[in-house]
Homo-oligomer: A and B are copies of this chain.
């Protein structure tokens, strides 16, 4: 099917991006908030037809949480190391001409891990030459994903609860009321990254409260500081000095990680997530032929 047109969908928990892909390029796109949590199980076929009405009567290849047990059908996981061909061999088809990409798992006793969706971007980034075949890639977020690529395969990976921890602290902890706004890429963020070298998150977090009580912390600075503590902790656990990280992120999160990566004496090279997705999903589609 190499080169043949198809519809690729990056179908996440809360958002969805669909593309008509022809010869490896997106020639049309639909972006909306119809994530899998807002689609009931039996409504998926209708959503598929609606996408085809917009993008053309084409076969479809879906990736992301649509293949989880909260999505349309459970597309399971293939074990790392995984290539685009391995993902193609594990496709699940919920109905004619619709295929769902499996996730990737690290099924090891010492530290089990899973991803679903990010594998397409990671493999695509390397396939497209945006990162070399042996590289460390990072896609930050609620659950930050760090991928170790080897020979162009997704060889190993680590998920960190970085974004979720920020939200937990902001919404429910003793210091939450001080964490107004989003963490900005400012001096307080840098101070948090610096303090993350103490590797003592549980006491650094309490120090936010103590600093306010003692009048040492200016109002409105806690969100950036805690963001720096958490992102700094995440980066330092994954990085060695002198290493290069290929970062799949946009906007504020890209700026924050770029700072923390630089402060760990590592080099950050930005990679466009959408380009990486189109490249990765095309490789999986081509592997079907």
Contacts and interface: CB of A to CB of B under 8 A. Distances in A.
Given A202-B237, A237-B200, A164 B158 contact: no
A106 to B, nearest CB: 7
A210 interface: yes
A5 to B, nearest CB: 34
Interface in A187-228: 195, 198-207, 209-211, 213-214, 216-217
Interface residues on A, range: 35 or more
Nearest to A234: B202
A169 to B, nearest CB: 7
Contacts of A143: 206
A41 interface: no
Contacts of A160: 200, 202-203, 206
Given A112-B207, A172-B171, A214-B107, A162 B237 contact: no
A173 B163 CA distance: 11
A203 B111 contact: yes
A202 B109 contact: no
Nearest to A158: B203
A73 to B, nearest CB: 16
B202 A233 contact: yes
Interface string A157-175: 0111110110011011110
Contacts of A233: 201-202
Interface of A: 77, 105-107, 109, 111-114, 143-144, 158-162, 164-165, 168-169, 171-174, 195, 198-207, 209-211, 213-214, 216-217, 230, 233-234, 237
21 contacts: A105-B214, A106-B210, A111-B207, A112-B210, A112-B211, A112-B213, A112-B214, A112-B217, A113-B203, A113-B206, A114-B209, A114-B213, A159-B203, A159-B210, A161-B203, A161-B206, A165-B202, A168-B168, A172-B172, A201-B201, A202-B233
